[in-house]
Amino acid sequence: MTIAREGAAGVASAVAKSVKYQGRKAAREGSEQRRQVILDAAMR
């Protein structure tokens, strides 16, 4: 039980790290799109 739990925790932390890294990249792209939308709305 403890081994399985530690394994799951290790997998979860590895996933969290990769998601955090990808999330940072995605967030940057997302904010670029949001900024463009806001600029478009401001122009109108």
Domain boundaries, the chain: 1-44
Report the distance separating Cα 41 and Cα 9, nearest Å. 44
Q: Is the pLDDT of residue 1 over 60?
A: no
Please tell me what DSSP assigns to residue 42: H
What does the pLDDT read at residue 26?
67
Report the pLDDT value the prediction gives residue 22, as an integer from 0 to 100. Answer: 67
Between 1 and 43, where is the model more confident?
43
Amino acid at 27: A
Tokens at residue 21, please?
A: 């890294």
User: How far is residue 26 from each of residues 3, 17, 22, 44, measured CA to CA in Å?
Assistant: 34, 14, 6, 27
pTM listed for this prediction: 0.36
What does the pLDDT look like over 8-44, one tens digit per residue? 777 777 777 777 766 677 677 778 888 888 888 898 8
Q: Report pLDDT for 23.
A: 65
